[in-house]
């Protein structure tokens, strides 16, 4: 009877995780693709003569923006159909955590990767002659935007396939759910922020095609820094998954680990978006004033470092929750 209950709980967790993974995973990509299409409409109305080229660019941009939701689909199908082997309550927590990680983690990247697609369509209507440069810049920006979603997928797959059966149920269940929350939530801001920088980059290339090298460099540096909060999230997830916690039936021990994941996850959203804003500003103004690209990059990096500090505070509190309390 007890075995049956555990098996049922594992199925419940897998189905709930699968629903969360695909449900939330579809949100971001659909918004991102919709943004690209909206900007493509504006572009066609501005320059109807090249509507075919704009339409092609929109489709390519949307195809890449959809990647985050395909990651979510892969994880959701695994959760729904994979044979979980030896069922135990820790497996149930791990499967639920996997769904949470992938579902939340796909939102930011999905929305963010729509921005370069939209701006590239708009840029194409202004500067049809630089379509190749624009499409390449859009694809680079869009692809880098997917990184936080890939981090989330890595955590989800680790939670799905790692064997936690030797660890004590209490408080490890909370650590596994916390691991999913940490990377999943932190990826929202980084994905969205990276998209802001990439969108400004596509706009900048259309405005100043000869500055494409400087614009792309500032975009990539800005996106890399914007991804730091999701790396913090990944780090806390790894600690929560790999550290062995002593058995404790006290609820506060479990809540400390769950809160550690929540703290870095939620704490990473704002800095990710903020860093993206700083990068967006720098990239936009580099296109207008390329001679001062070095000054603009320095200002961006200092601004991002300060904006990053709140994510560091969140990570410090998470580490205190894991190692001290």
If one asks whether residue 42 binds other proteins (CB under 8 A), the answer comes out as no
Reading the block at residue 307, the tokens are: 């904006």
Q: Of 159 and 269, which CB lies nearer to other proteins in the complex structure? A: 159
Q: Does 82 bind other proteins (CB under 8 A)?
A: yes
Whole-number Cα distances in Å, 10 to 110, 157, 173, 201: 29, 16, 12, 45
Q: Rounded CA gap, 297 and 220, in Å?
A: 11
107 part of the interface to other proteins, by CB under 8 A = no
Cβ atoms of 145 and 194 closer than 8 Å: yes
| Nearest CA among 68, 60, 57 for reference residue 112 | 68
188 binds other proteins (CB under 8 A): no
Site for other proteins (CB under 8 A): which residue of 60, 235, 305, 319?
A: 60
Instruction: Determine which residue in the list 38, 89, 143, 255 makes contact with other proteins, applying CB under 8 A.
Output: 143
What is the Cβ-side half-sphere exposure of residue 297, based on CA atoms within 13 angstroms? Answer: 17
Q: Tell which positions 109-138 bind other proteins, by CB under 8 A.
A: 132, 135-136
Q: Rule CB under 8 A: is residue 172 a binding residue for other proteins? A: no
4 binds other proteins, rule: CB under 8 A: no
Per rule CB under 8 A, is residue 275 in the interface with other proteins?
no
φ, ψ at 266 (rounded to 5°): -65, -40
Q: Are 187 and 103 in contact (CB under 8 A)?
A: no
Closer of 73 and 258 to other proteins (Cβ) = 73
- Residue ranges that bind other proteins, judged by CB under 8 A: 22, 26, 30, 51-53, 55-56, 59-60, 62-64, 67, 69-70, 73-74, 77-78, 81-82, 132, 135-136, 139-140, 143
């Amino acid at each position: 009877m007890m075995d049956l209950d555990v098996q049922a709980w594992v199925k419940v967790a897998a189905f709930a995780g699968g629903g969360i993974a695909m449900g939330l995973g579809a949100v971001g990509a659909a918004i991102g693709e919709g943004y690209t299409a909206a900007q493509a409409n504006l572009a066609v109305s501005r320059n109807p003569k090249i509507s075919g080229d704009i339409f092609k660019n929109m489709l390519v941009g949307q195809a890449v923006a959809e990647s985050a939701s395909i990651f979510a689909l892969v994880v959701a199908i695994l959760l729904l159909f994979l044979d979980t082997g030896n069922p135990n309550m820790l497996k149930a927590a791990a499967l639920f955590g996997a769904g949470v990680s992938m579902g939340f983690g796909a939102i930011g990247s999905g929305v963010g990767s729509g921005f370069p697609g939209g701006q590239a369509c708009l840029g194409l209507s202004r500067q049809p002659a630089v379509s190749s440069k624009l499409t390449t810049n859009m694809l680079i920006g869009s692809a880098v935007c997917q990184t936080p979603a890939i981090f989330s997928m890595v955590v989800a797959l680790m939670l799905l396939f790692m064997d936690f059966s030797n660890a004590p149920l209490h408080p490890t269940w909370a650590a596994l759910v916390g691991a999913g929350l940490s990377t999943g939530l932190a990826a929202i801001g980084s994905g969205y922020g990276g998209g802001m920088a990439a969108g400004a980059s596509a706009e900048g290339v259309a405005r100043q095609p000869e500055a494409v090298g400087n614009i792309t460099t500032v975009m990539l540096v800005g996106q890399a820094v914007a991804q730091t909060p999701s790396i913090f999230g990944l780090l806390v997830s790894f600690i929560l998954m790999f550290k062995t916690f002593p058995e404790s039936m006290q609820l506060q021990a479990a809540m400390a680990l769950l809160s550690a994941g929540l703290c870095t996850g939620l704490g990473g959203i704002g800095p990710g978006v903020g860093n993206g804003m700083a990068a967006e500003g720098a990239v936009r103004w580099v296109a207008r004033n390329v001679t001062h690209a070095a000054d603009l990059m320095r200002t961006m990096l200092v601004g991002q470092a300060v904006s990053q500090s709140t994510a560091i505070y969140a990570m410090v509190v998470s580490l205190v929750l894991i190692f001290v309390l």
